[in-house]
Amino acid sequence: MKKSIIIILLAISLIMAHLPTPTKVHSILGADVEQFIKDAESYGIDTSVIRDSLDHITPFPLGNNVYGVYTPFTRQVSINMRNCDNPIILRAVMYHELGHVFGIGHSSGGIMETGLSPLEITLRFGSTNSWLLYKSALFVEIKKLQDKK
């Protein structure tokens, strides 16, 4: 009986050691995710939806023309690091995908626009002033959505 309990406890310990830590995002993406959370909270946005699923935000090799994907069923945010090697592109893609986590859909302009080329992303979101404007618009939209609930 004691042997069985010890074996079960060892098995549980091994399983728990291999489970993802829910408070840690992949190190490559961590700075952008933390900045997003900080920015969102400055707008009064409840960021628990992200904080509860940080282990679902990962770099992932996607198709050549895909920068990022949000899968609602699994709450998985996948970022294609091959296409996001530029910090401006990575930041814009990360904010775009995290916008989806909050329920924001695609738009015809701003951070939630799709189909932009790397050059368009860099030109549109590269300057500090334009980035602040686009980022602010995204967070205002997220805040409105949260206030409706």
pLDDT in tens, 42-88: 999 999 888 777 777 888 777 778 888 888 888 888 888 888 888 99
pTM: 0.79
Instruction: Inform me whether the pLDDT recorded for 136 exceeds 50.
Output: yes
The Cβ-side half-sphere exposure at 53, using a 13 Å CA radius, reads 18
End-to-end CA distance of the chain: 52
> 21-148 adopts what CATH topology?
Zincin-like (3.30.2010)
Residue 89 DSSP SS3: helix
For the stretch 93-134, pLDDT in tens is 999 999 999 999 999 999 999 988 889 999 999 999 999 999
For the stretch 39-55, pLDDT in tens is 999 999 999 888 777 77
CA–CA distance, 74 with 67 (Å, rounded to integer): 18
For the stretch 6-34, pLDDT in tens is 444 344 444 434 434 334 556 778 888 88
Quickly state the pLDDT bin for 143 (edges 50, 70, 90): very high
Instruction: Specify the DSSP element, H or E, that contains 49.
Output: helix 48-51
